[in-house]
């Protein structure tokens, strides 16, 4: 009897209409297009401007795109996971609301938060549910409305982040396709360097905190960059070594889109040619939990059945890792 693995069989995505370009940012903070592009690779990012619309709106739109593209009956979905660092509310699950709104009435659901590694860790969780034999399919959505926690007077963060969502359907596979291996790690001593401190249980959100902007995201750029460069590249290299993969047998690198220099460093560490590196950071910036599924969606037409795809991410916590997945289908477009 063949071993059950978890394969991605469908993808979908959504980004808001409003485009925040580097030129617009020049009118908001002391920065310029050349500085942003040379240091991050970002040219523009999408922002959800509509009042009252949160991360669930993005997640719902991405899930609906997947459902429509693949003629999927939402009632057949057994589990919905929303990977996000910006849930709609503190207690009420964003995933539960998303599942209800897309008509996944037979699914149970929950949120996952590992910052920029949320979707990567979510892949592991979704695959585990399927490999156990308990469920046949899992809808995993990566979605973040980062604009809700960004201070647009802080040039260190406002140039980096954008809003968006991507969704993938994991299904049981007995042909050897799907998630093959993972290397996932975390180090809590790094949390002071990248976080949104206030609003959590240990740091109350008060009027004074709001006045000082303490509820916005903060990062110590140099420390985060150094850790991201080393750990993402190290995790990807370990995955290749453990699975006897080489630059010639890897077809794609899907790396978290935080900074093009970090992506380049990861690709160079595993000696991968530039044309094998998925890139869309110039269009969307860092959408946190949404970067990996947005990459898959943008490159879906180029992916071929049997392709070896290496995923890698690094995020606040610190959390990082890499996953090796064998692609399960040729483009349906």
Sketch the domain layout of the chain as residue ranges: 5-176, 180-327
- DSSP state, residue 51: T
**pLDDT for 160:** 94
**pLDDT for 331:** 81
CB 153 within 8 A of CB 29: yes
pLDDT tens for the chain, 333 residues: list them: 468 999 999 999 999 999 999 999 999 999 999 999 999 999 999 999 988 899 999 999 999 999 999 999 999 999 999 999 999 988 899 999 999 999 999 999 999 999 999 999 999 999 999 999 999 999 999 999 999 989 999 888 899 999 999 999 999 999 999 999 999 999 887 776 656 654 566 556 666 656 666 566 666 667 877 888 889 999 999 999 999 999 999 999 999 999 999 999 999 999 999 999 999 999 999 999 999 999 999 999 999 999 999 999 998 888 999 999 999 999 866
Single pTM value for the model? 0.93
From the candidate CATH numbers 3.30.360.10, 3.40.47.10, 2.60.40.1930, 3.40.50.720, the one assigned to the domain spanning 180-327: 3.40.47.10
Convert 25-59 to b/e letters by CB count within 10 Å (16 or more is b).
beeeeebeeeebeebbbbbbbbbbeeeebbbbbbb
d(CA 11, CA 297): 6
Closest CA to 95 of 107, 84, 81, 105: 81
Rg (CA), the chain: 19
CB 143 within 8 A of CB 268: no
Task: Verify cis geometry, omega within 30 degrees of 0, for the bond prior to 318.
Answer: yes
| Polymer length of the chain | 333
Give the active site residues: 116, 256, 286
Residues in contact with 113: Cβ distance below 8 Å, sequence separation at least 6, in sequence order: 83, 84, 85, 87
Residues in contact with 300: Cβ distance below 8 Å, sequence separation at least 6, in sequence order: 11, 331, 333
**pLDDT for 119:** 98
**pLDDT for 187:** 87
**pLDDT for 200:** 60
CATH number for the domain running over 5-176: 3.40.47.10
Intrachain domains 5-176 and 180-327 with the same fold: yes
Cα–Cα separations (whole angstroms), residue 18 to 56, 214, 217: 18, 26, 21
d(CA 161, CA 155): 11
**Upper half-sphere CA count for residue 293 (Cβ side, 13 Å):** 42
CB 154 within 8 A of CB 136: no
**pLDDT for 190:** 73
**pLDDT for 65:** 98
């Amino acid at each position: 009897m063949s071993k059950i693995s978890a394969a991605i069989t469908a993808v979908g995505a959504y980004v808001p209409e409003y485009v925040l370009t580097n030129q617009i940012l020049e009118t908001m903070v002391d920065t310029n297009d050349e500085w942003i592009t040379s240091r991050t690779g970002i040219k523009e990012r999408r922002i959800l401007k509509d009042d009252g619309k949160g991360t669930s709106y993005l997640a719902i739109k991405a899930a609906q795109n997947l459902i429509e593209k693949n003629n999927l009956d939402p009632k057949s979905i057994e589990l919905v996971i929303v990977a996000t660092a910006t849930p709609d509310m503190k207690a009420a699950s964003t995933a539960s609301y998303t599942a209800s709104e897309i008509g996944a009435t037979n699914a149970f659901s929950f949120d996952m938060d590992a910052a920029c590694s949320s979707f990567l860790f979510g892949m592991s969780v979704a695959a585990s549910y399927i490999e156990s034999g308990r469920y046949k399919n899992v809808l995993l959505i990566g979605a973040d409305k980062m604009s809700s926690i960004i201070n647009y007077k802080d040039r260190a963060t406002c140039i980096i982040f954008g809003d968006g969502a991507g969704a993938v359907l994991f299904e049981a596979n007995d042909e050897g396709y799907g998630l093959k291996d993972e290397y996932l790690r975390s180090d809590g001593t790094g949390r002071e360097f990248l976080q949104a401190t206030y609003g959590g249980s240990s740091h109350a959100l008060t009027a004074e905190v709001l006045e000082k902007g303490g509820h916005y995201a903060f990062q110590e750029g140099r420390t985060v960059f150094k850790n991201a460069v080393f750990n993402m590249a190290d995790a990807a290299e370990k995955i290749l070594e453990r699975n006897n993969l080489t630059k010639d047998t890897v077809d794609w690198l899907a790396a978290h889109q935080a900074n093009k220099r970090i992506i380049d460093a990861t690709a160079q560490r595993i000696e991968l040619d530039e044309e094998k590196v998925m890139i869309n950071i110039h269009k969307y910036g860092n959408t946190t939990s949404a970067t990996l599924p947005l990459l898959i969606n943008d490159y879906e037409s180029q992916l071929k059945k049997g392709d070896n795809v290496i995923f890698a991410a690094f995020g606040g916590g610190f959390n990082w890792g890499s996953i090796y997945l064998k692609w399960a289908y040729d483009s349906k477009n």
